[in-house]
Structure 1
Amino acid sequence: MAIFDVVKYENKDNSVLVWKWPGDQLAWGSRVIVNQTQEAIFYKNGQALDLLGPGSHTLQTENIPLLKTLINIPFGNQTPFPAEVYFIDKATILDVKWGTPKPVPLLDPILNIFLPIRANGQFGFRVKDSRRLVVQLVGTVSSLSKNDIVNYFRGIILTKTKDYIASQLMERRLSILTVTAYLDDMSKDLKLKLQDDFAMYGLEVANFLINAIDVPEDDPEVQRVKHAMANKAEMRIMGDDAYRMKRTFDVLESAAKNEGGGNMMTAGLGLGVGMGAGNNFGGMAGAMAAIQPPTPNKALPGPGAIQPSDMVVCRSCGNKSFAAFKFCTTCGAGLITPNSTCPTCGAEVPVGAKFCGHCGLKLTMDLCPFCKNQLPAGAQSCPSCNSRSGGKK
């Protein structure tokens, strides 16, 4: 084999991380040229030996003592000796993309259901220990590309990331739909967790970022969850009573637009007005098909019981509402009218009534124009001053 006077990096592929010099015969006095950001390492009999940093190096006992001991050839002897030389690029590699190939089902501790999640981001790495990298990953291959490293660690990254996200959701009691606020903290934690795995192969994680943790918008389960959350938010803004009222009329309107509307109205009202508006959102069932509100104090009238007599006219706007309602569904005015008492029989009568509905007598008594005392119903003269009720004494 030929003895090479100059050993240098001759590969033009920028994606190569580790490149093996094609020759295998060296001699004392040969020059080894190492580029910036590179290291050259001598490899023999499965051992990674001496390291040379950037610059031009002449092989002598001072710079390759380990190899000198192993080959046991006196310095100055021109007898060639076999050895392999690997060039390692130590520049930081940034913007390596990672992501879940398909959604992974994870339990949402707030919604108490499994949702398909996706995660993606980017990371960077660099060679920290060239000896360890050559021994662990290179072996007898002639080169190792950056893509080889990425492909090797992709499975480790995805497994660690999935397990970490699942644990954080449970420990922090986070919903998958609101976890975005914690991406920065989670990215820092995952960088630390991945360091040991990379260090085993002489590598170091330079940066690790989670760009997004989300759910597929077209997934039926996700759509049901978001619809339920929208209903809950609407109920919180409107208030329980107003929301139940709105849902009632939504059902009635839907029934009127479809054939067999009577059956639909019966089914809709029979289900209870609060469909999809549960106050205890965390206890949702797996399918999220029915989010029930707390049982109201007064149930709305059932479909068979809705009669004209159960409707009352609002004194403010004149529109009709269910008698069970406390407020008008059109203008919001109160529907409960306070009562007064008949001065003759003591029965309760509506405020503003002129005659008692129980005894038939007039509710407002006339006053004497002279002494201002009340006149009994039908009296011709005032019993207090004896003046005539018509105005003459």
Structure 2
Amino acid sequence: MSFFKNQFANVVEWQEFRDDMIFYKWSNREIKKGSKLIIRPGQDAIFLNNGKIEGIFRDEGEYDIESQIIPFLSTLKGFKFGFNSGMRVEVLFVNTKEFVVKWGTQNAINIPTLGLPGGLPIRANGTFNFKVSDYIALIDQIAGVREQYLVEDVKIRITAVLDQLLMKWITKEGKDMFNLQANSFDISKGIQEDLDMQMQKSGIAITSFNVMSFSYPKEIQDRITKNASHGMVSDINRYQQIELTDGMASGKMSGGGAASDMAGMMMGMNIAGKMMNQMKQNQDAPSQNTQPTSQTETSDQKRPNFCPNCGTKTEGANFCSNCGQKLV
């Protein structure tokens, strides 16, 4: 008798487990007498009958299906195995962990920007996290027609709508198109809410969405960097001197064509003129300050000590105290 029992026994488990697999459907639909259910860490086992959930088992371990599983199934709790018959149900194994996925825009997104008729082309990259949150929705929308589901399948769904969501949240009022990184938190939060609303219909929750960085075309990035240096050097005269020095040191001021040479010459003349004016102002300032002192000293030297008319001592006065003679 034990020979026949072992002959019909089988093991219900997640075969060929993969870390990037979201769910796996056990392929042998007939469970025999003496069968065992094996649930590994990070897995849930869902028993299905005609597409409806009979029972969900979450604790890891090895279970005897006849004595430990069937009594907890909704409509099959009274099932009795016959000598040569088994129970026909589906078992769906679900990976319960939170998945982390890297994403990146395949092509540049042209963001409408004032002054750029074709838009501002940008790229972005980052990560998003998701996990299965609703088994009923997952079965109705996906597991009912698929034997397995991979992280790559979710990534394809996300990236299909990501360009539109990026454009939606980047162009929200008040965003600085040339400093999107400063608004990356608000942009990420808005995209996460929209994605979560869409994916919840399939039983998947987007638990996190992050924009790690935005990138611009090289010409735009060079201009952004240059504008930042303008803010760091508040003295325009000093900035022009730095520009001229950098240009001469790098050799960009020579051999760049007539336009480049003319621009370099004009910048040099402009800076030279400003330097000459500054030097002249510095030279004029001391002479203006010393002029009153010189006039005072000259007046003191011309004033006599005694009145030339009556000989009375003047004592520094402008007129003689005795005869009224003008002394200066």
TM-score, normalised relative to structure 1: 0.56
Provide the residue aligned with 1:227 in structure 2.
Answer: 226
Inter-CA distance 257–205: structure 2 relative to 1 (3 Å threshold): closer
For each residue in 1:257-302, what CA deviation from the matched residue of structure 2 results, as whole angstroms up to 9, or x when unmatched? 78989x948x959xxx79xxxxxxxxxxxxxxxxxxxxxxxxxxxx
For each residue in 1:2-23, what CA deviation from the matched residue of structure 2 results, as whole angstroms up to 9, or x when unmatched? 9654322222433322112121
User: What is the percent sequence identity of the aligned residues?
Assistant: 18
2:130 is paired with a residue whose SS is strand
Aligned pair partner of 1:328 in 260, 272, 277 = 277
Q: Which amino acid aligns with 1:136?
A: Q
C-alpha separation between the residues in 2 aligned to 1:372 and 1:365?
Answer: 15
2:16 is paired with a residue whose SS is coil
C-alpha separation between the residues in 1 aligned to 2:80 and 2:324?
Answer: 153
Provide the residue aligned with 2:131 in structure 1.
Answer: 126
Report how far residue 90 of structure 1 moved.
0.9
Pairing 1:244-283 to 2, within 5 Å after superposition: 264=262, 268=266
Provide the residue aligned with 1:238 in structure 2.
Answer: 235
1:140 is paired with a residue whose SS is coil
2:279 is paired with a residue whose SS is coil
Give unpaired runs (5+ residues) of structure 1: 275-320, 340-350, 355-362, 374-382
Give unpaired runs (5+ residues) of structure 2: 1-6, 309-318
Pairing 1:263-342 to 2, within 5 Å after superposition: 264=262, 268=266, 328-330=277-279, 333=282, 335=284
2:79 is paired with a residue whose SS is coil
1:84 aligns with 2:55: no
Inter-CA distance 201–243: structure 2 relative to 1 (3 Å threshold): same
Aligned partners of 2:21 and 2:150 also within 8 Å: yes
Provide the residue aligned with 1:166 in structure 2.
Answer: 171
C-alpha separation between the residues in 2 aligned to 1:48 and 1:197?
Answer: 23
Report how far residue 196 of structure 1 moved.
1.8
C-alpha separation between the residues in 1 aligned to 2:307 and 2:214?
Answer: 82
Aligned partners of 2:166 and 2:187 also within 8 Å: no
Provide the residue aligned with 2:147 in structure 1.
Answer: 142
Provide the residue aligned with 1:58 in structure 2.
Answer: 65
1:367 aligns with 2:302: yes
Q: Which amino acid aligns with 1:194?
A: L
Report how far residue 81 of structure 1 moved.
4.4
Provide the residue aligned with 1:35 in structure 2.
Answer: 40
Report how far residue 212 of structure 1 moved.
1.4
C-alpha separation between the residues in 2 aligned to 1:244 and 1:92?
Answer: 51
Aligned partners of 2:9 and 2:34 also within 8 Å: no
1:103 aligns with 2:105: no
Report how far residue 126 of structure 1 moved.
1.5
Report how far residue 144 of structure 1 moved.
1.5
Report how far residue 121 of structure 1 moved.
1.2
C-alpha separation between the residues in 2 aligned to 1:125 and 1:145?
Answer: 12
Tell which has more relative contact order, 1 or 2 (C-alpha 8 A, sep 6+).
2
Inter-CA distance 120–32: structure 2 relative to 1 (3 Å threshold): same
C-alpha separation between the residues in 2 aligned to 1:21 and 1:215?
Answer: 48
1:213 is paired with a residue whose SS is strand
Inter-CA distance 23–136: structure 2 relative to 1 (3 Å threshold): same
C-alpha separation between the residues in 1 aligned to 2:10 and 2:209?
Answer: 43
1:199 is paired with a residue whose SS is helix
Inter-CA distance 230–326: structure 2 relative to 1 (3 Å threshold): closer
Inter-CA distance 215–245: structure 2 relative to 1 (3 Å threshold): closer
Report how far residue 98 of structure 1 moved.
0.9
Q: Which amino acid aligns with 2:146?
A: V
Aligned partners of 1:18 and 1:88 also within 8 Å: yes
C-alpha separation between the residues in 1 aligned to 2:93 and 2:307?
Answer: 119
By percentage of residues, which structure has more helix?
A: 2
Inter-CA distance 115–336: structure 2 relative to 1 (3 Å threshold): farther
Inter-CA distance 332–246: structure 2 relative to 1 (3 Å threshold): farther
Inter-CA distance 41–366: structure 2 relative to 1 (3 Å threshold): closer
Inter-CA distance 132–175: structure 2 relative to 1 (3 Å threshold): same
Aligned partners of 1:110 and 1:174 also within 8 Å: no
C-alpha separation between the residues in 1 aligned to 2:176 and 2:209?
Answer: 21
C-alpha separation between the residues in 2 aligned to 1:159 and 1:91?
Answer: 28
Provide the residue aligned with 2:4 in structure 1.
Answer: none
1:50 is paired with a residue whose SS is strand
Inter-CA distance 233–175: structure 2 relative to 1 (3 Å threshold): farther
TM-score, normalised relative to structure 2: 0.65
2:277 is paired with a residue whose SS is coil
